């Protein structure tokens, strides 16, 4: 069983960046079934072109999924999550980094993937871009027809 991100960074002394990266790599290799299924929908910018990272270290926490361009954290919660504690940590992430967190249950992913993707798309579109000028530096790739191919 992979530990939840709520278990990261616990303990009085904190954790080193190196140990957080090692832990994140371990969690990527030992994903839960709901995490694997959602990752298949998010990887390689499949969801509306948004790029996601999985098991992304942020501060003393490891987020299940993170969209850097929007500053949006996506967490999948199992049966053992403490809602009050999760909300407090989400508030801390918002205050410290300006990141918004959206949460889905493992059951949501397993039984209603389309609903999860719709809600996630809405959350992404409501979030302001973190780098508003990025589109000026990276224009969209032209289609084959625009390049003169038929």
pLDDT at 134 over 70: no
Cβ-based neighbour number of residue 146 at 10 Å: 9
Q: Is the pTM of this model over 0.75?
A: yes
Mean pLDDT of the chain: 84
Residues 6+ apart with CB under 8 A from 102: 72, 73, 74, 75, 119, 120, 123
Q: Are 54 and 28 in contact (CB under 8 A)?
A: yes
pLDDT at 132 over 90: no
104-127 average pLDDT score: 97
pLDDT at 82: 86
Q: Are 52 and 67 in contact (CB under 8 A)?
A: yes
pLDDT at 30: 87
């Amino acid at each position: 069983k992979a530990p939840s991100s709520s278990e990261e960074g616990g303990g009085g002394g904190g954790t080193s960046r190196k140990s957080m990266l090692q832990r994140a790599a371990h969690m990527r290799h030992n994903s839960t079934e709901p995490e694997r299924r959602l990752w298949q929908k998010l990887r390689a910018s499949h969801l509306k072109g948004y790029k996601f990272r999985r098991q992304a270290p942020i501060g003393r926490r490891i987020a299940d999924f993170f969209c850097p361009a929007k500053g949006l954290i996506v967490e999948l919660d199992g049966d053992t999550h403490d809602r009050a504690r999760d909300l407090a940590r989400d508030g801390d992430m918002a205050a410290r980094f300006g990141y918004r967190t959206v949460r889905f249950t493992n059951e949501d992913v397993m039984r209603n993937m389309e609903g999860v993707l719709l809600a996630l798309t809405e959350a992404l579109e409501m979030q302001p871009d973190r780098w508003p000028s990025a589109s000026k530096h990276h224009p969209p790739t032209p289609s084959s027809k625009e390049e003169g191919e038929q």
